[in-house]
Amino acid sequence: MLLYPGATAAEAPARQHTSRPIVTGTSVLGIKYKDGVMLAADTLASYGSLAMFKDVTRIARTGSYTLVGASGELSDYHALLDKLKGLAQANANCDDGFEHGPAEIYSYLRAVLYQRRNKFDPLWNSLVVGGFKDGAPFLGSVDLRGTAYEDDVIATGYGSHLALPIMRAKWTPDLDEGEARALLEDCLRVLFYRDCRALDTVVLSKATATGTLVSDPYKLETDWTSASFVAPKAGGDGDGGW
């Protein structure tokens, strides 16, 4: 491939890095609540607009304290999980009573993603890191440019448009586990209704003082009796959208 028309052979083969994701996952949601942190995501892996795999868990445990969820390119996510597995094993090998906490893993991922972005070969993910260590909950997000921030509620992908406003409106720091779960499931439901790359099969996970847990995939109850679903055009001539 030539850099530009008429380029010489020496200038010729321009090197191409990842310029778009191939197999992707959509939003990941995370909130802090009374006992710790809860993360949620659906289990769909899309190949463009094709719903390719419907049972892919996009939230994983790493070490004893941390959960990492990802939207974006799933192969990049798996490569990152491999790195984290190595990190956890290195901790276990040392056997000195120390293990990286969620804040350190978040910082590590930030460093890795930022380094790759500087090589113009990014790992195409938006990550959500949640965890609980030494009595403190942690929730942070890292994207493919290495941009990183912490917050009480976090959503990636379409979730940042569709779910985040709901989460911000309803979130309080003293949500109990049931309330936190209900809030996340409400958001996942809205995403399933509105995001064409979302699924009603989801995974929920939590990090608390007793450790981390990732649920098996389960199906959300949905309700399609809403007026805009029953009569999408609502008498108008539009295509059913707003």
Partner 1 sequence: MASTGAGYDLSPTTFSPDGRIFQVEYATKAVENSGTVVGIRCADGVVLGVEKVMLSKMLLPSSNRRVAAVAPHAGVAQAGSTADGRQVVARARDECDSYDDTYGIEIPPSVLAQRLAEYVHYFTIHGALRPFGASTMIAAYDARKKTHELYVLEPTGVCLRYFGAALGKGRQSAKSEIEKLDLTKLTCREALKEIAKMIHTTHDDAKDKPFILEFAWLCEETEWKYGLVPQDLIDEADAWAKKELESDDEDDDGDEEMAS
Partner 2 sequence: MFRSQYDTDVTVWSPQGRLLQVEYAMEAVKQGSACLGLVGKDGVVLAALKRQPNELSGHQKKLLKIDDHLVIAVAGLNADARTLAKVMRTECLNHRYVYGAPLQGARLVQDIADKYQRCTQTYVRRPYGVGLLVACCDATGPHLYETCPSGNFSEFVAVAIGARAQSAKTYLEKHHKTFKDTPVEELCTHALQALACVEINRCAAISTPRPSFWLKLGHDLRDPRDRIQRAAPHSHPERPRIEGRLKFYFPTGIGRLRRWRQGTRRGGRVPSRRDCRWAVALD
**Applying CB under 8 A, which residues contact partner 1?**
82, 86, 89-90, 92-93, 95-96
H helix runs in 23-64, sequence order: none
Q: Tell the smallest beta-carbon distance from residue 108 to partner 2 (Å).
A: 6
State the CB neighbour count (10 A cutoff) for residue 219: 10
Phi, psi (deg, nearest 5) at residue 217: -65, 140
Q: Is 186 exposed, middle or buried (0-12, 13-18, 19+ CB in 10 A)?
A: middle
Active site residue 18: yes
Rg, the chain, Cα only:
20
Work out the number of other CB atoms within 10 angstroms of the CB of residue 108: 17
Contact positions vs partner 2 (CB under 8 A): 94, 96-98, 100, 103-104, 106-108, 111
Nearer to partner 2, 97 or 135 (CB): 97
Q: Which is nearer to partner 2, 4 or 98 (CB)?
A: 98
What is the C-alpha to C-alpha distance for residues 29 and 60, in angstroms, rounded to an integer?
14
Phi, then psi, of 133 in degrees rounded to 5: -145, 145
Q: Cβ of residue 98: shortest distance to partner 2, in angstroms? A: 5
**42 or 104: CB nearest partner 2:** 104
Residue 171 interface partner, choices partner 1, partner 2, none, CB cut-off 5-8 Å depending on type: none
CB of 100 to partner 1, least distance (A): 17
From partner 2, partner 1, none, which one binds at residue 14 (CB under 5 to 8 Å depending on kind)? none
Give the span between the Cα atoms of 174 and 143, in whole angstroms.
28
Min. distance of Cβ 111 from partner 2 in angstroms?
5
Q: From the candidates 18, 57, 201, 208, which is the catalytic residue?
A: 18
- Specify the residue, 96 or 237, whose C-beta has the smaller distance to partner 1: 96
Question: Among all residues, which ones are annotated catalytic?
Answer: 18
